[in-house]
Amino acid sequence: MKTRVLNLGFILSLLLAISACNKDEFYAKDYLDTPTSGLPDGTVDIGGTSGGVDSGVDGGTTGGSTTGSTAGGTDGSTVGGTDGSTVGGTDGSTVGGTDGSTVGGTDGSTVGGTDGSTVGGTDGSTVGGTTGGTYGDCNNGHGNDADHLDESNPTIGLEPKCKLEIFHQTAEQTKKLDIVWIIDNSGSMDDEQAALGINFSSFIDEFINKDVDFKMAITTTDASTVTKKGKMVTGSDVQLTSAKARADEAKFKEDFNFMINVGTSGSGNEKGLAASEGFMEKYANSFVRQDAYLAVVIVSDEEDQSSKTVADYTDYLKSFKSNNGLVKVYSVVDVNNTNCCSNGITTGSERYKQASSNTAGMIADIRSDFHGVLSDMGESIINLLDSFALNHDPIPGTLKVYVNGVESSNYVNDSATRSIKFNQNSLPPVGAEIRVYYVK
């Protein structure tokens, strides 16, 4: 009897356990089939249809299929979502997103993005970008020690944006000047030639007073034949020198006045730029000094009619200097086209203006008072002789200057002449190395 009672108790316990298990399964299944049953509208614990606090199809936090804002949602804004803004989203703004703004995104603004603004982006504005605006620090923190540069081709970063130019201070900073005068000798230039001779003193006196080592030569705009193209006025290179001026200033000025009046029987098809090319082809080896400024002064009341592009001619002139900043074209031309529409004259001066712009030279109006024009031009050239001419125009704010490896701010950047000039009381010592970094 005792044994039977124990067996019946065991059976009753087992039946109660099975009954309880089925009840739990029933309520779980019922809840999942109707998740909002018995709850306030819009409230969900896990995986609800209408979305709310935690997640669901439209769920705001975890595991939603469409717009979950934290983890795993298709459009989740934090982790793993297609449009997730933090990690792994297709359009994620932080890590790995196609349009991610931080790391790895196609349009990421920081690292690796196609349009990334910092590192590696196609349009990145700092490092590695195709059109970025800073390209890092052009001197890369190096003053005198720019071992990352190839000084035979001194560029930095993305060629050809960053530039390095190296100068050395001499006992007498470059005060050598070679001047080629190209005078329009067509039929309309009689008065202008006379004015040049009469007012020459306003141009040359300062050169004489400052003991500039100069020499001059004269040619014309008549390039109608190979022989005439750039042909020098006989004796001008010998008579118009600083040595002759020191020996007999009055005679020197008389000789200039005589030689500058080249006549008015030349071709009416003026080719001042072609004449500059012809002069260099014929006389560069004997006339041009490598360490001197080359000033090409063109005086004409008509537009240049040379066959090549302006850049072709200015680049050719620059090719004679290791530092092409030493080449300047000065144009005394009909700025306001006052010759318009008469006697078949080719009006304008745009090509000459462009030549001056290409070389950071000067443009003056041939109809202005020649005394003032020549005085201003002479002063501009004199200022250059105490400066360091740059090859390109620096983008504002990018210029850095080092003297013997120490950064200096004791200079003026003259954008008009594309040169830097040290303050008079802060001149680099003789023998100093001057390194100039900039973005062009």
Instruction: Kindly report, residue by residue over 348-399, the tens digit of the pLDDT.
Output: 899 999 999 999 999 999 999 999 999 999 988 888 887 888 888 888 888 9
State the Cα–Cα distance between residues 419 and 412, nearest whole angstrom.
8
Cα distances (angstroms) measured from residue 63 to each of 41, 42, 46, 68, 267: 20, 17, 9, 6, 87
Q: DSSP characters for 124-139?
A: -SSBS-SS-S--S-TT
Does the bond joining 154 to the residue before it have cis omega, within 30 degrees of 0? no
- Report pLDDT for 44: 41
Q: List the structure tokens of 434.
A: 């001057």
User: Over 90: is that where the pLDDT of 317 sits?
Assistant: yes
Neighbours of 432 (CB within 10 A): 17
204: amino acid identity, one letter: I
Q: What is the mean pLDDT of the chain?
A: 73
What DSSP character marks residue 227? Answer: T
Average pLDDT over residues 28-46: 42
Nearest to 333 by CA among 316, 319, 346: 346
Which residues in the chain are classed under CATH 3.40.50.410? 176-383
Q: Are 118 and 107 in contact (CB under 8 A)?
A: no
pTM for this one? 0.62
- Report pLDDT for 385: 80
Higher-scoring residue by pLDDT: 431, 74 = 431
365: amino acid identity, one letter: D
Q: Would you place residue 56 in the very low, low, confident or very high pLDDT band (cuts 50, 70, 90)?
A: very low
Enumerate the β-bridge partners of residue 93: none
Label residues 353-371 b or e (16+ Cβ within 10 Å = b).
bbbbebbbbbbbbbbeebe
Q: Are 196 and 371 in contact (CB under 8 A)?
A: no
Enumerate the β-bridge partners of residue 167: 434
Q: List the structure tokens of 379.
A: 């002063």
Range with the lowest mean pLDDT among 60-69, 157-166, 307-316? 60-69
- Report pLDDT for 421: 85
Q: Would you place residue 220 in the very low, low, confident or very high pLDDT band (cuts 50, 70, 90)?
A: very high
Range with the lowest mean pLDDT among 121-130, 358-367, 404-413? 121-130
State the Cα–Cα distance between residues 154 and 139, nearest whole angstrom.
11
User: Over 90: is that where the pLDDT of 221 sits?
Assistant: yes
By DSSP bridging, strand 362-365 and strand 411-414 are unpaired
Helix (H, G, I), strand (E, B) or coil at 395: coil
**Residue for token digits 């993005």?**
113
Higher-scoring residue by pLDDT: 37, 147 = 37
User: Over 60: is that where the pLDDT of 73 sits?
Assistant: no
**Residue for token digits 């504002």?**
396
Q: Are 420 and 411 in contact (CB under 8 A)?
A: yes
Q: List the structure tokens of 122.
A: 């196609």
Count of alpha carbons within 13 Å of 166, Cβ hemisphere only? 17
Higher-scoring residue by pLDDT: 291, 332 = 332
* Radius of gyration of the CA atoms of the chain, in A: 40
User: Over 80: is that where the pLDDT of 255 sits?
Assistant: yes
- Report pLDDT for 145: 36
State the Cα–Cα distance between residues 395 and 388, nearest whole angstrom.
17
- Report pLDDT for 149: 42
Q: What is the CATH number of domain 176-383?
A: 3.40.50.410
Nearest to 292 by CA among 207, 377, 199, 404: 207
- Report pLDDT for 386: 78
Q: Say which residues have a Cβ less than 8 Å from residue 239's Cβ, sequence separation at least 6.
A: 252, 255, 259
What is the percent of the chain with per-residue pLDDT over 90, rounded to a whole number?
Answer: 43
- Report pLDDT for 320: 96
Instruction: Kindly report, residue by residue over 273-294, the tens digit of the pLDDT.
Output: 999 999 999 999 999 998 899 9
By DSSP bridging, strand 293-300 and strand 176-183 are parallel
Instruction: Kindly report, residue by residue over 141-180, the tens digit of the pLDDT.
Output: 443 333 334 444 444 444 457 888 888 887 655 589 999 9
Enumerate the β-bridge partners of residue 329: 296
Neighbours of 211 (CB within 10 A): 12
Q: Are 393 and 415 in contact (CB under 8 A)?
A: yes
By DSSP bridging, strand 293-300 and strand 327-333 are parallel
What's the gap between Cα 223 and its chain centre? 36
